[in-house]
Amino acid sequence: MKKVAIIEDRNYDVIVIGGGPGGSTTATLVAEKGHRVLLLERDKSPQFKIGESLMPATYWTFERLGIIEKLKASHFPQKYSVQFYSSSGKASAPFYFYRNDPHESSVTWQVLRSEFDQMLLENAQEKGAEVQRGVSVHEVLFDGERAVGVRAKLEDGKIAELSAKVVVDSTGQSALISRKLKINKIEPKLKKASIYTHFEGGIRDEGIDEGATLILHTENKDSWFWYIPLPYDRVSVGVVGDLRYLLQNRRKSDGTLVHQAIFDEELAKCPPLQPRLAGAKQLFPVKVTKDFSYRANCIAGDGWVLVGDAFGFLDPVYSSGLFLALKSGEMAADAINEALEKEDFSAAQLGCFGPDFVAGMEAIRKLVYAFYTKDFSFARFLKRFPECQQGIVDILSGNVYRTDVTGIFGPMAEMCHLPEDMGL
Ligand SMILES: Cc1cc2nc3c(=O)[nH]c(=O)nc-3n(C[C@H](O)[C@H](O)[C@H](O)COP(=O)(O)OP(=O)(O)OC[C@H]3O[C@@H](n4cnc5c(N)ncnc54)[C@H](O)[C@@H]3O)c2cc1C
């Protein structure tokens, strides 16, 4: 039997599990209202994480968090645009976000996650949250259907039970609550995998294009690469493809699967990327991740709320993961603050932001499906429906909670299959 340390004076208003961007956002915005918030992060120190490119609309959450000035003073490259390369190697004109909305919120950043996550975590602490690193939550404790706290391994190795009025699951893809309750649904048409690493010395464009995200299809459109400029003369480079294509059908005759070799083979099918990396040095062995697209079928229950990837993740293509983590973190915080005021910790109160949040996520999801339609091209779509340019840039910017972007989906459905056409 493990020794269980029940520590007195450990009754919190809110326990946030996971100190990624989603969890830090909720912790900050609840703690600054004067509530007792405990944030538990498993990693003892900042770690490498994938997910480095922000969408411009993160600005509004950063503004509420009070960290715009810190981001401006940081060494994170500024991102003005995203540019797509077709399978023939032809580059689209860059989508400059500020052309759509000439405000400083239209320029965003490419971040090194270890530093960015730490910045948000420190901010949560400064705004009054108690942050404990090196604490791994093993289980969310329920009294009947209602979450009442967590069982966690503390830094000193002791197991503690900590109680709270609200438990926030922001554990990223660990998705502690939704996996336990088996309420996760995999996106059946987005069964993807990714192989990625960092390079030093990759060639960047000049001027305001220096920090641009590039999305490059490989020759037969079976996969695509991201190219994201980072600080320290690094670029993040990753390839994404169907799981079956990228990993399952690539075993050598002796059964081995060499991820570096697959990465190199895909790179060989992406001519516009090769000169950018010709003189660059790969900084660490490739990493692999798969099956990352899913969503829980509800965002809250009695006493618990899901934030960020712990609720769901779409796909890396438009860099929407951090935006949705920050946005859901913000919306969850508002629902929790209201719950604490009203002493109402029901699923209905804690999940009141769900329908609005999911509606914005759905708009981005539709654009993801368009991207993966083999014979669909944004260039052809915009040539036929030029009036949809604004809607596309709005979605690429993350302006899905400030503007109605749904007008583009009627025309788009004429050129590709959107999820609802497939009953998804
Ligand atoms: C291949 C790929 C590429 C991507 N590229 C981009 C991109 O360019 N731009 C973008 O915006 N998004 C991208 N994403 C998505 C992005 O990484 C995530 O959406 C984002 O990190 C979600 O933030 P989060 O706070 O929800 O979770 P995370 O950032 O995953 O944070 C969760 C935290 O919880 C902690 N934790 C987990 N379990 C426990 C536990 N039991 N106890 C205590 N702590 C725990 C973890 O250590 C972690 O710090 C990408 C994703 C993939 C798969």
* Mean pLDDT across the chain: 94
Residue boundaries of the structural domains of the chain: 4-67+112-186+295-352, 192-290, 373-422
| Closest C-alpha to ligand 1, atom 18 | 321
Residue 272 CA to ligand 1 center (angstroms) comes to 29
The identity of residue 11, as a single letter, is N
| Closest C-alpha to ligand 1, atom 17 | 51
- Measured CA to CA, the distance from residue 165 to residue 172 in angstroms comes to 21
Q: What's residue 269's pLDDT?
A: 97
Test site for ligand 1: of 15, 16, 42, 323, most ligand atoms within 8 A of the Cβ:
42
- pLDDT tens, residue by residue, 229-243: 999 999 999 999 999
| Closest C-alpha to ligand 1, atom 37 | 171
Q: Which atom of ligand 1 lies at the shortest distance from residue 240's CA?
A: 1
pLDDT of residue 407 exceeding 80: yes
Q: What's residue 255's pLDDT?
A: 66
pLDDT of residue 120 exceeding 60: yes
Residue 278 CA to ligand 1 center (angstroms) comes to 30
Residue 271 CA to ligand 1 center (angstroms) comes to 30
Q: From 100, 87, 85, 24, select the one nearest 55 (Cα to Cα).
A: 100
Q: What's residue 8's pLDDT?
A: 45
pLDDT of residue 409 exceeding 60: yes
Q: How many CB atoms lie within 10 A of CB 248?
A: 13
pTM of the model: 0.96
Residue 174 CA to ligand 1 center (angstroms) comes to 9
- Burial tier of 27 (Cβ tally within 10 Å: 0-12, 13-18, 19+): buried
| Closest C-alpha to ligand 1, atom 29 | 20
- Measured CA to CA, the distance from residue 310 to residue 295 in angstroms comes to 8
| Closest C-alpha to ligand 1, atom 9 | 319
Contact in structure between 299 and 183 (CB atoms under 8 Å): no
- Burial tier of 182 (Cβ tally within 10 Å: 0-12, 13-18, 19+): exposed
The structure tokens listed for 129 are 């949250």
Residue 173 CA to ligand 1 center (angstroms) comes to 7
- Measured CA to CA, the distance from residue 170 to residue 308 in angstroms comes to 6
Q: How confident is the model at residue 5 (pLDDT cuts 50, 70, 90)?
A: very low
| Closest C-alpha to ligand 1, atom 1 | 194
Contact in structure between 162 and 152 (CB atoms under 8 Å): yes
Residue 184 CA to ligand 1 center (angstroms) comes to 16
The owner of tokens 């209202």 is 33
Q: What's residue 9's pLDDT?
A: 53
pLDDT of residue 289 exceeding 90: yes
Residue 169 CA to ligand 1 center (angstroms) comes to 12
pLDDT of residue 2 exceeding 70: no
- pLDDT tens, residue by residue, 339-383: 999 999 999 999 999 999 999 999 999 999 999 998 888 888 999
pLDDT of residue 73 exceeding 90: yes
Q: What's residue 131's pLDDT?
A: 96
Residue 171 CA to ligand 1 center (angstroms) comes to 8
Q: Which atom of ligand 1 lies at the shortest distance from residue 23's CA?
A: 25
| Closest C-alpha to ligand 1, atom 19 | 321
- Measured CA to CA, the distance from residue 190 to residue 244 in angstroms comes to 11
Q: How confident is the model at residue 194 (pLDDT cuts 50, 70, 90)?
A: very high
pLDDT of residue 422 exceeding 80: no
Question: Which residues on neighbouring strands pair with residue 360, listed in sequence order?
Answer: none
Q: How confident is the model at residue 6 (pLDDT cuts 50, 70, 90)?
A: very low
Residue 20 CA to ligand 1 center (angstroms) comes to 6
Residue 18 CA to ligand 1 center (angstroms) comes to 9
The owner of tokens 């060499």 is 258
Test site for ligand 1: of 170, 177, 237, 292, most ligand atoms within 8 A of the Cβ:
170
Region of 272 on the Ramachandran plot (φ > 0 left; ψ -120 to 50 alpha; else beta):
alpha
Q: What is the 3-state secondary structure (H, E, C) of the chain?
A: CCCEECCCCCEEEEEEECCCHHHHHHHHHHHCCCCCEEEEECCCCCCCCCCCECCCCHHHHHHHHCCHHHHHHCCCCEECEEEEECCCCCECCCEEHHHHCCCHHHCEEECCHHHHHHHHHHHHHHCCCEEEECCEEEEEEEECCEEEEEEEECCCCCEEEEEEEEEEECCHHHCHHHHHCCCEEECCCCCEEEEEEEEECCCCCCHHHCCCEEEEECCCCCEEEEEEEECCCEEEEEEEEEHHHHHHCCCCCCCCCCHHHHHHHHHHCCCCCHHHHCCCEECCCCEEEECCCEEECCCEECCEEECHHHCEECCCCCCCHHHHHHHHHHHHHHHHHHHHHHCCCCHHHHCCCHHHHHHHHHHHHHHHHHHCCCCCCHHHHHHHCHHHHHHHHHHHHCCCCCCCCHHHHHHHHCCCCCHHHHCC
Q: Which atom of ligand 1 lies at the shortest distance from residue 228's CA?
A: 8
> Mean pLDDT, to the nearest integer, of 152-177?
95
The owner of tokens 């993350």 is 398
> Mean pLDDT, to the nearest integer, of 286-306?
97
Q: What's residue 101's pLDDT?
A: 84
> Mean pLDDT, to the nearest integer, of 161-184?
96
- Measured CA to CA, the distance from residue 309 to residue 300 in angstroms comes to 14
Domain 4-67+112-186+295-352 bears CATH identifier 3.50.50.60: yes
> Mean pLDDT, to the nearest integer, of 68-93?
94
| Closest C-alpha to ligand 1, atom 39 | 171
Residue 207 CA to ligand 1 center (angstroms) comes to 30
Q: What's residue 424's pLDDT?
A: 74
Out of 2-6, 30-34, 155-159, 406-410, least confident range: 2-6
User: Which of 3.30.9.100, 2.40.50.100, 3.40.640.10, 3.40.50.150 is the CATH number of 192-290?
Assistant: 3.30.9.100
- On the CB side of 282, how many CA atoms lie within 13 Å of its CA? 11
Residues at CB less than 6 angstroms from ligand 1: 17-23, 40-43, 49-53, 136-137, 170-172, 174, 176, 194, 238, 289, 292, 308-310, 313, 316, 319, 321-323, 325
